[in-house]
């Protein structure tokens, strides 16, 4: 990039920063982990960290009540560090990968031992479960450090602002450079959050409201009349489907048999219904051979769930009786209150209807 071009971009960058911060001052979303714009005291790093880990897989709307509950139960990082891993995993149920919850707890223990959150990206990124994005978000939002924070919303805004032709995901480094080229030295945290809010509320994936956007006069995609055509995307690979069976065995007291899944792997360490492996071919053998009891099993339906890398079709069977195996990883639980990951809750709800 030549000197002339770069000075043009810097001037445009200043205009972009001023426009988006002024818009943020008037339109910032009120979120429970946030310090409103213009308030002098910094955001609580514990809240920022917790919200960022939760938001990695779930929407703001879904995270908000779960965040409040987490915070009511564990108001400080020290309180979270003192909790049992099982309690944390239970509270995490339905929020996605459980490895995140385990790392959350590990990280809380480490922070509690250090006495405070570190405030620089390099130290933050070495903490359990804290990736480059989360480290930058904490450094910028909780400590107002100049750290370039690029999530999906920011990527979309930048791809449109600069009409980036490289398709995602290969465009990621280019989008990060574009973001860095406009990042301000001051109000770094507010700038990060202003771009996130703009992406979530104005520059939305399907219906960007360019007429209401503070960046429209800088935006190349808008000038081209092609906002929705950015970011460019590589053709999507189809997700494969896996198949399996799950068994809901109820005892005479109405309890259901659940199994603690192995620590490693998908849904690791969580409770679930006993079942078969999840395999890539539709099984043609007898799934009931894997059942935890010789019961008159009824087919209760098909629980469908989509994970990040595959769809799952789980044949759910319901039955009553005594378990062939109990103890070890197995236990009886109240089917209404047991905390299960979403796919297992869907399966148990199907079985419950058949009871």
**Residues 157-176 within binding reach of ligand SF4 (CB under 6 A):** 157, 160-161
Q: Tell me the closest approach of the beta carbon of residue 223 to ligand SF4, in angstroms.
A: 9
Q: Tell me the closest approach of the beta carbon of residue 189 to ligand SF4, in angstroms.
A: 21
For ligand SF4, the closer CB: 220 or 339: 220
| Mask for 197-236, x = binds ligand SF4 (CB under 6 A) | -----xx----xxx--x-xx--x-xx----x---------
Helix (H) or strand (E) holding 54: helix 45-55
Question: Shortest CA distance to 197 belongs to which of 22, 21, 24, 18?
Answer: 24
Question: Shortest CA distance to 199 belongs to which of 169, 174, 175, 165?
Answer: 175
Question: Shortest CA distance to 111 belongs to which of 126, 133, 96?
Answer: 126
Q: Tell me the closest approach of the beta carbon of residue 221 to ligand SF4, in angstroms.
A: 5
For ligand SF4, the closer CB: 219 or 291: 219
For ligand SF4, the closer CB: 180 or 224: 224
For ligand SF4, the closer CB: 215 or 300: 215
b/e for 77-91, b at 16 or more Cβ within 10 A?
A: beebbeeeeeebbeb
Binding footprint of ligand SF4, residue count (CB under 6 A): 15
DSSP codes joined into one string, 287-335: GGGG-SS----EEEEEEEEE-SS-EEEEEEEEEES--SS-BTTEEEE-T
The stretch near ligand SF4 (CB under 6 A) out of 52-60, 70-78, 99-107, 154-162 is 154-162
C-alpha to C-alpha distance for 39 and 99, rounded to whole angstroms = 35
Which residues are catalytic, by number? 52
When asked if residue 245 is in the footprint of ligand SF4 (CB under 6 A), the reply is no
- Residue ranges in contact with ligand SF4 by CB under 6 A: 157, 160-161, 202-203, 208-210, 213, 215-216, 219, 221-222, 227
């Amino acid at each position: 990039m030549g000197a002339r071009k770069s000075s043009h971009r810097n001037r445009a960058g200043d205009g972009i920063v001023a426009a988006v911060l002024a818009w943020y001052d008037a339109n910032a979303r009120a979120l429970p982990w946030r310090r409103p714009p213009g308030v002098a005291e910094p955001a609580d790093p514990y809240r920022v960290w917790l919200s960022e880990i939760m938001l990695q897989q779930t929407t703001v709307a879904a995270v908000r009540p779960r965040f409040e509950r987490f915070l009511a139960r564990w108001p400080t990082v020290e309180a979270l560090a003192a909790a049992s891993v099982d309690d944390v995993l239970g509270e995490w149920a339905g929020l996605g990968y459980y490895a995140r919850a385990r790392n959350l707890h590990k990280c809380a223990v480490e922070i509690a031992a250090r006495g405070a959150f570190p405030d620089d990206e390099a130290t933050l990124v070495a903490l359990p479960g804290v990736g480059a994005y989360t480290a930058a978000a904490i450094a910028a939002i909780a400590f107002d450090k100049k750290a370039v924070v690029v999530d999906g919303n920011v990527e979309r805004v930048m791809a449109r602002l600069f009409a980036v032709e490289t398709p995602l995901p290969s465009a990621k480094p280019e989008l990060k450079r574009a973001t860095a080229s406009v990042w301000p030295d001051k109000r770094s945290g507010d700038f990060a959050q202003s771009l996130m809010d703009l992406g979530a509320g104005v520059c939305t994936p399907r219906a960007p409201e360019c007429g209401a956007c503070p960046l429209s006069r800088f935006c190349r995609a808008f000038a081209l009349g092609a906002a929705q055509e950015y970011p460019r995307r590589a053709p999507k690979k189809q997700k494969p489907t896996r198949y399996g069976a799950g068994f809901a065995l109820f005892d005479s007291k109405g309890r259901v048999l659940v199994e603690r899944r192995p620590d490693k792997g998908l849904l690791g360490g969580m409770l679930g219904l006993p079942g078969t492996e999840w395999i890539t071919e539709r099984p043609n053998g007898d799934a009931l051979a894997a059942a935890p009891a010789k019961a008159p099993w009824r087919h209760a339906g098909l629980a469908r769930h989509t994970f990040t890398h595959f769809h799952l079709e789980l044949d759910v069977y319901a039955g009553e009786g005594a378990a062939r195996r109990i103890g070890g990883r197995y236990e009886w639980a109240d089917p209404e209150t047991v905390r299960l990951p979403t796919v297992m809750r869907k399966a148990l709800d199907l079985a419950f209807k058949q009871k």
